[in-house]
Amino acid sequence: MKQLQLFALALISVTAVCQDQNSMSPDQRAMIQAEQAFIDMARTQNRRDAFLFFLSDSAVTQGPKGPIKGKEALRKQAVNNDLLRWHVSRSLISSSEDFGYNSGPWEYFSRRSDEKPGGYGEFNSIWKKLPDGTWKILLDIGISYPAPGKDTLRTVLSFIGGSQKAKRSKANANELVSIENKFQSALKTDRVSAYQDVVSPYTQLMHSGHAPYRNPDSVNDYVQYCPKTTNHVIMGYDQSGSNDLGYVYGVADVALTSDGKTVIKKGTFVRIWTTLHSKNPEKWTLALDLLAY
């Protein structure tokens, strides 16, 4: 119940700072339209072929033991009669408008004829604009959580994040890794303080089994309920041409405790870093902190 209340409060908080979608740039609209075409193809054709079409050849997805790079596992999947549907509730694009991020709720039906979903969760897709102008997904990883309970909790947040016009002076391909390593070191000292230093009103914090946290004041709750992780290994990263939006992903050991017993499981961490919401263009904040397991 506490989780649902936090989620409801987040809806109010985010809606209060929403932007008119008409203010979006043509490229951000194109990125969201690409996501919508992805959604439509999964609905009208099938889920597997939709993923194969819209994901880049080296796209990262979630596997049973951490991240999977490439589409080989997808190609081996059989086409069936299931249905995955989702919609965009958040979107952010870099100031160079070549790199962006969509997020929102999903519902899964094991059969298309089912009246009620058999699974719920939140998707996160990172898109990159190719030289020919098309958009492809670099990473698609989400979480699942129990049924929200009320339809009102699954409405569109109506938050569309635009891009700032001022670009950073220079790009540094290794900057994201440095920021990530610094953050991981801070987590070892004080998890709450580490997060409080990098969250903004636009940050999403999410881990498997719980609805996303979208209120900066919920850091304490997120740290309390999010399992501790160790042995982080960065597996990849990428960023916008303007060096103001990028992501880092990797694998980590996740400590899961049940009935007094702790089991270590491999999980995937994804962090999307941005300077778009900072008054100081050198200050990186989290757009997304995700742990899937």
Yes or no: domain 2-154 corresponds to CATH 1.20.1250.20: no
Give, in order, the Cα–Cα distances in Å from 11 to each of 2, 5, 145, 157: 14, 10, 17, 6
User: By CB neighbour count within 10 A (0-12 exposed, 13-18 middle, 19+ buried), where does 1 fall?
Assistant: exposed
Average pLDDT for residues 23-44, to the nearest whole number?
95
pLDDT category, 24, cuts 50, 70, 90? Answer: confident
Same fold, 2-154 and 175-292: yes
The pLDDT tens digits of the residues spanning 246-264 come to 999 999 999 999 888 999 9
Cα–Cα distance between 54 and 143 in angstroms, integer? 20
Q: Element (H or E) spanning 140, and its range?
A: strand 135-140
The predicted structure's pLDDT at residue 11: 35
The predicted structure's pLDDT at residue 23: 73
The predicted structure's pLDDT at residue 8: 36
Q: List the structure tokens of 284.
A: 């990186």
The predicted structure's pLDDT at residue 160: 53
Cα–Cα distance between 51 and 137 in angstroms, integer? 9
Interacting residues of 124 by C-beta distance below 8 A, sequence separation 6+ = 101, 102, 103, 139, 140, 141, 142, 270, 272, 288, 290
Length of the chain: 293
Asked if the model's pLDDT at residue 71 lies above 70, the reply is yes
Interacting residues of 58 by C-beta distance below 8 A, sequence separation 6+ = 69, 70, 138
Asked if the model's pLDDT at residue 16 lies above 90, the reply is no
For the chain, domain boundaries: 2-154, 175-292
**CA-angle at 12, arms to 221 and 103, nearest 5°:** 75
pLDDT category, 13, cuts 50, 70, 90? Answer: very low
Across the chain, what does the average pLDDT equal? 87
pLDDT category, 173, cuts 50, 70, 90? Answer: low
Global pTM value: 0.88
Pairing status of strand 119-129 against strand 66-69: unpaired
The predicted structure's pLDDT at residue 172: 66
109: Cα within 13 Å, side-chain hemisphere: 16
The predicted structure's pLDDT at residue 174: 80
The predicted structure's pLDDT at residue 256: 95
The predicted structure's pLDDT at residue 14: 34
The pLDDT tens digits of the residues spanning 89-133 come to 999 999 999 999 999 999 999 999 999 999 999 999 999 999 999
CATH for the stretch 175-292: 3.10.450.50
Asked if the model's pLDDT at residue 69 lies above 60, the reply is yes
